Structure 1
């Protein structure tokens, strides 16, 4: 049986490991001790009881393969070397190192306990705050504004974005729907406003927004300035190139640096898709099918190259009952409003699905 090593146990690595588990000897290497379901982490800031269901052990993920806890120091198409010097050989290597984000929305480090602590600390600080400011008009900032205004309707919530509309890069209809719903929840929107005076860009903190955002009282400020791809492994590869977002450039079969049996997907790779879970739902099945064909002896160039979703897709709940989405279908994408967004994501945040995939639904 051929051996496949996957570096990274986030959404992309987990989806691919499960898809390959029947046909290959899979070794998933992940530095963290547990999987963090980041799609629900935003709501956990207002409802930390969710942590018991969104921080999940890896021990039941694979039936044939294994999840190995460790830090990968280098990767090639022949295998990986761990930080302690141990080499793990492989017939195929996939690097799915994902992205990092400001606390507390993604773990800063390898400890699930530390992540839980950061969420609980943010929740305690949020409960004590009268005025909350969120800097960033992308998906995390918008969703957080919706969650806080839903859970704490008496708090003053301000959302600041340097763009003239929320969710830049998506349709005007989508943006207007989110703006309308947030205003109905009492959120103050300050669009086309750049904040240059943040004391910290990586964690929530108390402070003032500064004169560039108007005269304001002291706020609890949540920076939500976008994800940063984790590409340190690629930086050591001869021939690796990167796009403007810092994602590694891959060929039509998702291979970086001119390599033949090393692949990448998810947030770290410039696949043509945005950095969303919706994108992974297309990339992982395609790459699993391609790798299975490769391991069966097919020449990869004889296989169809990867094609991104025809439109940018994203799901943005604003609490359990509100929100809007763009589904990546019908060329330009299909707009879905409050009801559909709540049904698809908002009510459950995919928590039952991931508990089932990890074997913890019982």
Structure 2
């Protein structure tokens, strides 16, 4: 594995894994039970939601001045809780989804679309396609605007409007630089950002990728497998790649990166120098690249509560402090049981993964329905890392992995079919209840 002077060597990627037939059988059984554990609870939840939706269709009546359940943020957390609540609220209530982006951003595809051209419009899904079921029943209103603040009874919008709320759900997520997320709130502007990244990759000879999480690994591997002649260096701040996951995944990913020619620099936390393509290492030495891609860290978008309830924002992480019910964690006299937070913006103790969002959305939905009925919230979020912390990821255009974490070295790693150039975007649309119109014809 490539390394440099002063950098601690990473994992022993040369170690061989040659299990006996008994170990292989045990692993297969564990894999089957783990997958069943992933699918069964999700299937039961969907069946329950389906039954509730059918009942709601026949009982819900739209009225002129309903009480609002406002959801701020329309990414994975926001759309799930908005849809699920809109299909269950009683007459007299309405869900209002406030989202600054014109389209839903399918973030999983961004690293691939920052390298491969021609598919980028598919990463932006019209909200009406996702929310159409609830809109027809009049139980959901979608507002395309940025929320700028919150008061005890209203959500303030950037255009000067204010929305009254009976319940508030903060699902504002986190911010990251491209390629993880785009800065533009419109589809065309975001596609332009992806085009700029594509041109930068195509024109560069020496590329540095800062950060060895899933986004950094996928970017480095895609660049190297689509452009084998380019020099790609991946910088990890730890002595492993994929530091948030277990050793099986770390070793496998490092092996693949080495095999395709990506240089990995461990225990390196370089800083980009403003106005240049130079990076500076801890020893103050500098290196120059044709392109530097930052794939590090997440900054929680908790600012919406910073004026109203600054005490519920963690001074250590910047995330919103919540109870197991996902209601705000009260500080002093600032108890607001009608305000919830979930997803990346909340300090819930669980994985920051899409599957965790599914579980949290169900918790918030059920607790708000109980509050509407005059009951105390009884549903609590208890992270199940082996379910919610699982991941599917690509490591270049020819390899993909599935991983399910587990205790006592019982984590499961398996190989998946390679993702095509379009990153299976039609499947992504279907998962969100939308129909993919197909790849646009080139001009």
Q: Structure 1-normalised TM-score?
A: 0.88
What pairs up with 1:16-55 in 2 under 5 angstroms?
16-24=81-89, 25-55=94-124
How much has 1:99 moved relative to structure 2?
0.6
Q: CA deviation at 1:30?
A: 0.7
Q: Tell me which of 135, 141, 145 is aligned to 1:66.
A: 141
Q: CA separation of 1:267/1:180 partners in 2, compared to 1, >3 Å: closer, same or farther?
A: same
Q: Distance in 2 between matches of 1:266 and 1:182?
A: 30
Call closer, same or farther: CA 1:329–1:175 in 2, change over 3 Å.
closer
- CA displacement at 1:211 relative to structure 2: 8.8
Alignment of 1:257-276 (within 5 A): 257=330, 258-276=335-353
Label 1:318 to 1:9 Cα distance change in 2 as closer, same or farther (>3 A): same
1:13 to 58, 68, 78: 78
Q: Is the 8 A contact 2:280 2:287 kept in 1?
A: yes
For residues 296-345 of structure 1, the C-alpha deviation after alignment (integer angstroms, 9 at most, x for no partner) is 33221xx13111123443333213442434325678773223327x58x9
1:134-164 superposed Cα distances (whole Å, 9 cap, x missing partner): 0111221111112112211221111011211
Contact 2:68 2:165 in 1 (8 A): yes
2:70–2:95: 8 Å Cα contact kept in structure 1?
yes
Match of 1:167 in 2: 242
Q: Which of structures 1 and 2 has the bigger CA Rg?
A: 2
The residue that corresponds to 1:185 in the other structure is: 260
* Residues 14-65 of structure 1 deviation map (CA, whole Å, 9 limit, x = unaligned): 1111111212321100111111111111100111322121111112332331
2:318 is the counterpart of 1:253: no
More deviation, 118-127/80-89: 80-89
8 A Cα contact 1:38 1:106, kept in partner? yes
Question: 352-361 vs 241-250, which deviates more?
Answer: 352-361
Distance in 1 separating the partners of 2:318 and 2:291: 30
Unaligned runs of 5+ in 1: none
Other structure's SS at 2:379 match: coil
RMSD: 2.8
TM-score by length of 2: 0.73
The answer to whether structure 1 residue 353 and structure 2 residue 428 are counterparts is yes
Runs of 5+ consecutive residues of structure 2 not aligned to the other structure: 1-65, 438-443
Task: Describe the SS at the equivalent of 1:361.
Answer: coil
Correspondence for 1:290: 367
Deviation at 1:232, TM superposition (A): 0.5
The structural deviation recorded for 1:213 is 9.5
- CA distance in 2: counterparts of 1:230 and 1:236, whole angstroms: 13
SS in structure 2 of the partner of residue 287 of structure 1: helix
Q: How many angstroms apart in 1 are the aligned matches of 2:129 and 2:152? A: 27
SS of residue paired to 1:304: coil
Cα 1:98–1:349 change in 2 (3 A) is farther
Match of 2:156 in 1: 81
Counterpart of 2:43 in structure 1 is none
Give the number of equivalent residue pairs. Answer: 354
Structure 1 residues 73 and 218 mapped into 2: Cα distance closer, same or farther (>3 Å)?
closer
Task: Identify the range of structure 1 (352-361 vs 155-164) with the bigger mean alpha-carbon deviation.
Answer: 352-361
Q: Does 1:232 align with 2:310?
A: no
Q: Is the 8 A contact 1:193 1:213 kept in 2?
A: no
Correspondence for 2:167 among 92, 102, 105 = 92
What is the aligned partner in structure 1 of residue 395 from structure 2? 318
Q: Deviations over 1:81-129 (max 9, x none)?
A: 2223322122211011111101233121422222111110110111011
